[in-house]
Amino acid sequence: MIRLDRVSYSYPRATSPALNDLSVDIPAGQFCAVIGANGAGKSTLCSALAGFVPHFYRGRLTGTVEVAGIDIAASSLAELAGTVGLVFSNPFNQITGARFSVRDEVAFGLENMGVPRAEMETRIDYILQFAGLAGLAERPPFALSGGQQQRLAIASVLVMRPRVLVLDEPTSQLDPVGSREVFTVLRDLAATDEATVVLAEQKLEWVAAFADRVLVLHEGRLVADGLPGDILASPDLQRYGLEPTRYTRAARAAQAAGLRPEGDTLPVTLEQAAEFFA
Amino acid sequence: MSGTYGLYVVRQTGIHRLHPLTKLVYVLVCLLIGWLIPGVWSPYIVLLIGVVPVALIARVLPEVIKNTIKTAIPFAISLIIVQGLFWTGGTIVRQLGPFSLKAEGLLFAIRGTGRIILAVSGFLLLNYTTRSDELMLALSQKGLPNSISYVVLSTLQVIPRFQRKANTILDAQRSRGLETEGSYLIRMRALMPLVVPLLLGSIVDIEERAIALEVRAFSREGAKTSLLVLHDTRFQRAIRWLLMLGAMAVIGWRFYLWLAPRLA
Amino acid sequence: MERLKRDFSTISLAMIPIAIAINIAVGQIVKALRLPLYLDSIGTVFVGAVAGPWVGALTGLLSNIIWAIIFGDVTNTVPYAPVAAAIGFLAGVFSKYGWFKVWWKAVLGGAITGVVASLLSAPITFYLFGGVVGTGMDIITAAFRSQGMSMLAANFLQGLATDPLDKAISFLIVYLILRALPDRYIDRFSRAEDVR
């Protein structure tokens, strides 16, 4: 579904590349998390998948980015809308403001795509239910809480039925309650096994809970690629400026203190931790 | 401002349910007639016949009166002073110290005030009874670019947030010791620390909002659809045409009045 | 035509609501400081400078219409929309000739824009509102009038008493903002090369 072949990219005026010789294949239906320290290239990768690199930011892109069979560099943003959905951190800026209710805001993208009204109704009803916004359908979008607004942003993109959904740190500007709301929606999305999702995220505990695969970026390069259990428990994590989950840290401390045998697989989720300490 | 729809006042009346263009055309025609028909009292007559009854049916008359007065009073005072007292020549009605109140100036002020009252109340009537998203949709269907509709509606909702932002910056800078009271120079100096953060902080918003729009197929060309549905009737369409014909007749007549003495 | 299409890009359209909100928010700050200025077209001037005369003109035009809807006052807003459009347009023209690259040229451009604004406002005030604007500024008009001056001329001079200074300061603030902004943000706008 997503194919990156030797992709390098530099922003205009930048002295060092933001993405450096990146190659990766993501099959359809996979929920793939991208982790890495600030400035590792997560956002740039998200922008490249949605076409904003290079079509919006300009700059120099080499290699091939292919999403759902479309060569991003040869396409346009107007063409890509509806094929790749992008959600980013700031909820306020993702709400167009041009529609006066949550329901109408969700409709905005469908209206632009010329979707017939009857079909819009069905799709919107379904997606509002999915995002837990059905009860807020008639509320003004800017009257919602941060978490609700972010779920609205996700719903507004999902309703367009993109082949790929890209989320760039969707909870970094939310409080814990809002983050939990958003991750609940993402977990449901991961459970469907139909959506192809790329999630750039710093909160590793959530990544561990539902990602099928984890990519680690460091200074624009892909430095690790594997299952969440392997990657997140790896001692290399700190080298890339990432903090292991509290479960991994606790398990390591237990091993160091001799409470648990060395060599056991370290836990990265609550369930695994319960097993580890059992 | 009251809520999401700009000035819209939620009421279940037949006027609220009318097609937005019917109300827009009606108000514009009222304005045109009141302004163009000669005579000091013509704006007031149009106001009483055209605006007040409709506002009454729409149950927004108290709001219309209150806010019209708020805007019109300063104008009335200014007009009476500037035109009534400083009318060159004219018949003196009353001597007020060094100034003299002139009849011609006074009549001019009355007519001017009437025009302003008519314009303000007509505009308020339209806005109190019409949701701006419905009005913009109606205009889009008549050929106004979708991008204009986006800009207007988005601005209406973004503004309250910016007003809050401005107040936050004002409070923050004051608590950091910025003097916002005192001499003209002190207040002038306070301007930059208040305005610059607001502007710089907004530029990032622009970029992200553009990206969000692209994601939602904003720049896609081709036919667009709408979730919102406007109800129009053949009767309303006929009324709109009649109103526009009437307006053209008034314009023609007024033009004739202006032209005739020049040709004679 | 190509140029115009690039000017009216998505980023320009996304900028207009923010610019109008800035007009209103800064106007509010100036009011709180009780300064004898308006500074209610800084957003418009900014748009003109970075996206060209036509987008600037559209911003000014819509700004006045939206101001009317927000505050429910149609008098000092909608009729002067052409003046606001002219301010945005002129900012775009001055920007095209690089006047936002030098501080004193920005100030001069603003002052000239202010004179043009007074010239355009006077007939609107005169023909639509009988020569008054319904604020304390009418005292200036009355003073000129009492000197035997014609109403139209008095309206023009009333405008001259504030507009050139007001617009000169607005242009200067936009100049300063353009200096303070990192290049990577300015790059996005269609007329970026005119202001750097």
C143 touches chain B (CB under 8 A): no
Interface test mutation site (partner C, options B123, B206, B213, B219, max chain C beta carbons within 10 A) = B206
Select the more confidently predicted residue: B26 or A265.
B26
Which domains are delineated in chain C?
A: 2-195 (1.10.1760.20)
User: Is residue A196 classed as helix, strand or coil in its secondary structure?
Assistant: strand
What is the C-alpha separation between C34 and A178, in angstroms, rounded?
Answer: 40
ipTM of the complex: 0.93
Radius of gyration of chain C (CA): 17
pLDDT of residue A190: 86
Q: Does A97 touch chain C if contact means CB atoms closer than 8 Å? A: yes
**Could you tell me whether strands A221-226 and A164-168 are parallel, antiparallel, or unpaired per DSSP bridges?**
unpaired
Sign of CA dihedral A44, A199, A89, A113: positive
Radius of gyration of chain B (CA): 24
What are the residue boundaries of the structural domains of chain A, listed by start?
A: 2-244, 245-278
Name B95's bridge partners. B100
Count of other CB atoms within 10 angstroms of residue C113: 28
Q: What per-residue confidence (pLDDT) applies to A80? A: 94
Whose tokens are 């790059």? That residue is C187
Closest listed residue to residue B153, CA positions, set C74, C77, A96, A93 = A96
Least Cα distance to C87 among C37, C39, C22, C41 occurs for C41
10 Å Cβ neighbour count for A14? 12
C161 class by beta-carbon count within 10 Å (0-12 exposed, 13-18 middle, 19+ buried): middle
Q: Which residues of C touch B202 (CB under 8 A)?
A: 18, 21-22
For residues A113 and A159, the answer to whether their CB atoms sit within 8 Å is: no
Q: Do C131 and B83 touch (CB under 8 A)?
A: yes
Q: What is the pLDDT of residue B5?
A: 66
Q: How many helices (H) and strands (E) does chain B have?
A: 10, 2
Q: Strand pairing of A196-200 and A164-168?
A: parallel
- Model confidence band, residue B4 (pLDDT cutoffs 50, 70, 90): low
Distance of CA A138 to the CA centre of its chain: 28
Task: Find all residues with CB under 8 Å of B110, minimum gap 6, and list them.
Answer: B40, B41
Name the packing angle between helices B146-175 and B132-141 (round to 10°): 150
Cβ(B190)–Cβ(B180) below 8 Å:
yes
Rounded distance between C-alpha atoms, residue B196 and residue C29, angstroms: 12
Q: For the ranges A244-253, B21-30, B65-74, B119-128, which has the lowest average pLDDT? A: A244-253
Residue C190 pLDDT greater than 70, yes or no:
yes
Would you place residue B1 in the very low, low, confident or very high pLDDT band (cuts 50, 70, 90)? very low
Query: What number of residues does chain A have?
Result: 278
User: Contact C44/C16 with Cβ under 8 angstroms?
Assistant: no
Q: Do B155 and C11 touch (CB under 8 A)?
A: no
DSSP letters, C55-108, are HHHHHHHHHHHHHHHHHT--SSSGGGHHHHHHHHHHHHHHHHTTTTSSHHHHHH
Mean pLDDT of each 10-residue bin along chain A, 278 residues long: 95 91 95 93 96 92 95 94 94 94 97 96 96 94 94 96 95 91 90 88 86 94 92 86 86 86 82 85
CB contact under 8 A, A13 and C188: no
Cα three-residue angle B221-B223-B226, rounded to 5 degrees = 120
Tokens 């910025």 map to which residue? B178
CB-CB neighbors (< 8 A) of A56 in chain C: 188
C-chain residues near A13 (CB < 8 A):
183-184, 187
Write down the pLDDT at residue C101. 96
Closest residue in C to A78 (Cα–Cα): C10
Q: Show Cβ contacts of residue B182 under 8 Å, excluding neighbours closer than 6 positions.
A: none
What single letter denotes the amino acid at residue C46? F
Token readout for B227 is 């979730």
Task: Give CATH superfamily name and number for A2-244.
Answer: P-loop containing nucleotide triphosphate hydrolases (3.40.50.300)
Best CA proximity match to B212, nearest among C21, A163, A105: A105
Contact at CB, C184 and A58, closer than 8 angstroms: no
Find the radius of gyration of the CA atoms of chain A: 20
C41's CB contacts (< 8 A; 6+ apart) are C23, C60, C63, C84, C87, C88, C167, C170
State the average pLDDT over residues B19-38.
Answer: 95
The pLDDT value given to residue B2 = 39
What average pLDDT score do residues C165-193 get?
91
Structure-token match 């984890």, residue found: A214
Q: Please name the residue of chain A whose CA is at the shortest distance from the CA of residue C188.
A: A57
The shortest CB-CB distance from C183 to any of A13, A56, A97 is to A13
Nearest CB to B206: which of C15, C141, C173? Answer: C15
pLDDT value of residue A245: 85
Is the pLDDT score of C58 beyond 70? yes
Q: Which residue of B has its CA nearest to A49?
A: B215
C28 part of contact set with chain B, CB < 8 Å? yes
**Residue from C12, C13, C58, C62 whose CB has the most chain B CBs within 10 Å, to mutate:** C13
DSSP letters for C154-181: HHHHHHHTTHHHHHHHHHHHHHHHHHHS
Residue C156 token pair: 């023009």
Q: Is C29 exposed, middle or buried (0-12, 13-18, 19+ CB in 10 A)?
A: buried
Measure CB to CB from residue C17 to each of A12, A58, A97 and give the nearest one.
A97
Residues of chain B found within 8 Å of residue C129, distances taken between Cβ atoms = 75, 112, 115-116
